[in-house]
A and B are shown apart, each in its own frame.
Chain A
Amino acid sequence: MKVLVTVKRVIDYNVKVRVKPDQSDVDLANVKMAMNPFCEIAVEAAVRLKEAGLASEIVAVSVGPAACQEQLRTALALGADRGIQIDSGEAPDPLGVAKLLAAVVAAEKPDLVILGKQSIDGDNNQTGQMLAALLDWPQATFASALALEAGRLRVTREIDGGLQSLELNLPAIVTTDLRLNEPRYASLPNIMKAKKKPLEVKSPVELGVTLKAHTRLLKVEAPAERQGGIKVGSVSELVEKLKSEAKVI
Chain B
Amino acid sequence: MAILVIAEHDNRALKGATLNTLGAAAQLGGELHLLVAGFSCAAVVAQAAAIPGVSKVLVADAAVYAHQLAENLSRLVAGLGKGYSHLLAPAGSAGKNLLPRVAALLDVAQFSDIVGVVSPNTFKRPIYAGNAIATVQSLDPIVVATVRASAFDPLPAEGGSAAVETLDAAHDAGTSRFVGEELAKSDRPELGSARIVVSGGRGLGSGENFALLEKLADKLGAAVGASRAAVDAGFVANDMQVGQTGKIVAPELYIAVGISGAIQHLAGMKDSKVIVAINKDPEAPIFQVADYGLVADLFEAVPELERAL
Are B308 and A231 in contact, CB atoms less than 8 angstroms apart? Answer: no
Q: How large is the interface on A (under 10, 10 to 19, 20 to 34, 35 or more residues)?
A: 35 or more
Interface contact B71-A239, CB-CB below 8 Å:
no
- Are A161 and B112 within 8 A (Cβ)? no
Are B129 and A120 closer than 8 Å at their CB atoms? Answer: yes
| Pair B130/A223 contact, Cβ less than 8 Å | yes
Report the stretch among B27-35, B44-52, B134-142 that lies at the interface: B134-142
Q: Are A238 and B100 in contact (CB under 8 A)?
A: no
From B71, B112, B132, B184, contact of A138 by CB (8 A):
B71
Query: Is B289 a contact partner of A125 (Cβ separation < 8 A)?
Result: no
Chain A residues within 8 Å of B134, by CB: 217, 219-220
| Chain B residue, CB-CB nearest to A124 | B112
Instruction: Report yes or no: A235 in contact with B308, Cβ–Cβ below 8 A.
Output: yes
**Contact indicator B177/A167 (Cβ below 8 Å):** yes
In the complex the two chains form, is A231's CB within 8 Å of B97's CB? no
Q: Which of A126, A168, A179, A226 is B238 in contact with, Cβ under 8 Å?
A: A179
Q: Which residue of B lies closest to A233 (CB)?
A: B294
Given A158-B238, A248-B253, decide whether A226 and B276 contact each other with a Cβ distance below 8 A: no
For A238, give its contact among B69, B176, B263, B305 (CB under 8 Å). B305
Contact B292 A232 (CB under 8 A): yes
CA distance A130 to B144 in the complex (A): 13
Q: Which residues of A contact B163 (CB under 8 A)?
A: none
Q: Which 5 A-B pairs have the closest CB atoms?
A: A214-B109, A229-B291, A129-B100, A133-B104, A126-B100
Given A141-B70, A166-B69, list of 14 further CB < 8 A pairs? Answer: A123-B127, A129-B96, A129-B100, A133-B104, A139-B71, A139-B176, A144-B238, A160-B93, A215-B111, A218-B136, A220-B133, A222-B131, A226-B289, A229-B290
Residues of B within 8 A of A (CB): 67, 69-71, 74, 92-94, 96-105, 107-113, 122, 126-140, 173-184, 190, 192, 196, 220, 228, 232, 237-239, 244-245, 247, 252-253, 263, 270, 273-276, 282, 287-296, 301, 304-305, 308-309
